[in-house]
Each structure stands twice: as C-alpha cells, then as structure tokens.
Homo-oligomer: A and B are copies of this chain.
Amino acid sequence: MDFNVTILGYNSAVPTAHSHPTAQLVDVKGTTLLIDCGEGTQIQIRKSKTKFSKLNQIFISHLHGDHVFGLVGLISTLQLLGRNKSLEIFGPVGIKNFINHQLSLTNAYQNFELIFHELNSDVSELIFENKKLKVYTIPLRHRFYCNGFLIQEKEGLRHLNMQAILQIPEIETCDYYKIKQGFDFVRANGEVIPCAKLTFPPEPARSYAFCSDTMYHPAIVPIIENVDLLYHEATFSKALKNLAKKTGHSTAEQAAQIAKQAQVSKLIIGHFSNRYKNPQVLLDEAKEIFAETYLPKTLESISIPQKKR
C-alpha cells in the first residue's frame, strides 16, 4: 500500500512566477492529508490531480501567510463545489478566528461543517488517528508558535505462517482474520497457541516528518527518530547562520545535522530564501553532513517504499 508525499510548493515567504509557497499532500494508504496551505495551493492540488473530495484533514504549521493564505480560498472553493461532508482543520490557536472572520466578511456559503482543532501545546501530542495512520505534533521553535507534523503509518495485519497453521487442524479459514490481527488461538482442549507461532510480523510501519518553519532545534530529534523521510526547512546557508537564528530559521547544515542525529533514512530540504537562485549550494552543504539529502521538485510525489520484515 502506498505512502506518498507530494510537494505542492516549498518556497519561502514571497511567491514568484515559478515557485509556490509551502503545501504538501501526504497520502497514506488512501488517506490524504494536506499540510500547510500557502496562496495558490488549491491550484497546485488541482495540478496534482488529487480530488478535493479526498481531503478531510488539513494541518497548518503556523499562521504566517506563506503557510496559510490559501486556506480560505480552498475552503470557499469546496463550498462552491457543493461539498457537504465536514472538514477538520488542525492549527495554532487563532486559526478558527482567522478563517471564520474571512468567511463571514466574504458572505461565504456554509454548506459543510468546519471542525477546528486549535493547538497550543509545547509538547508533542497525538492529534489525529484513523485506521491507517496517526498524526503527532512536532513542537518547533520559530518566531511564532509553530508545529511540525509526524505522520506514522499504523502496522498492518500480521502474515499467516501457513506451515504452522496447517499443523493445527481445528484452525479454519474463518479464524484467519483474528489470528492476523494478533489474537492467540485456543484449541478445543484449552491449549493456547500463541499468535507469534502462527504468524510472521507485519511489515514495519513507515513514517514521515514535516518540520517547517524552525530554527535549529535538537529537541525534536527524539520525536522524529528513525523516520523514513524528513522534510526540514533550510532557509539559509551556513554563511548566514546568525540571520537564520534571528529569523527563526535553519541553515542547510543544521537541517542535515538534525537528520543525522535522528538517523532518518532520507532528508528533503526546502523553504529556501529567494536569495538562492540555485539551491544546489544548500544541497551541497547538507550532503556534507548527511549524504541522503535531496532537493524537492514542485508536484513531485515521493514514495516511501514498503520496508522488508
């Protein structure tokens, strides 16, 4: 089953004719989450060929315009297109007021419910869960209250060890599902056959961490440890380390240091300052610390492959 991250935009602050502010789609086994929603995100979603009807949860890192100015337009479009199922929005305290005020002044339709989950905790917390995945906050350190998001796939069913199963004649096909779920099997004579003897473990769960905007903040390392993919902002090069700190951003080197400390499998850097006409300099800088670093491409879908048991 798929686990894909699609970068809709990764520009910092000021959009330009050929770049887009922060927004990403994360698709985990059919559940599609939107993270951040800069101006023009609804167009980028259309270009990604993702149906608006697939979106049920939106996560906003912080209330800077380049991460949120596209949200009211997206909601208005969903309203105009006749959506009637509710939409959940997770974001900092203030986001409900921010959106509702705009909707109210623009006399927008109200044909579906907006369910706001306002965040204000400084510690990581589970904020969303369904059958396929869990989403945790990653408290970041920016000029402004800001969260990253950790998206963890839930483990799938265990796999039947048919050789072991066939040695227990009482096990019938209709018992398989419960055994795959992890239940032990109890024979007619009361003997308990542990599930572990009848099955192999499921494939390891995959995970993705989105960290933008933030200054270098090693406190996040335990939260994002061993993720398969990390997106970490790298607004500046190390030559502008002081400016990075002052503005609440990271250098490419610092992003790579976080990736290394957290032993992630792969790092994508983004949110580059417009002063870098070619972000290769930032990539080179990061790769010196963490070889598995990559640049994002607009509308590129990055697949996190299923891991071997």
Contacts and interface: CB of A to CB of B under 8 A. Distances in A.
Interface in A28-82: 39-40, 42-43, 46-47, 63-66, 68-70, 72-73, 76-77, 80-81
A276 interface: no
Interface in A259-305: none
Interface stretch (A98-106, A113-121, A126-134, A157-165): A98-106
Contacts of A47: 17
A16 interface: yes
Given A15-B77, A16-B46, A144 B107 contact: yes
Interface residues of A, number: 35
Contact of A65 (B39, B65, B72, B97): B72
28 contacts: A13-B77, A13-B80, A15-B43, A16-B46, A17-B43, A17-B47, A39-B40, A39-B42, A39-B70, A39-B73, A40-B43, A63-B105, A63-B106, A65-B72, A65-B73, A65-B76, A65-B102, A65-B106, A68-B106, A69-B72, A69-B76, A69-B106, A98-B102, A98-B105, A98-B106, A101-B101, A101-B102, A107-B144
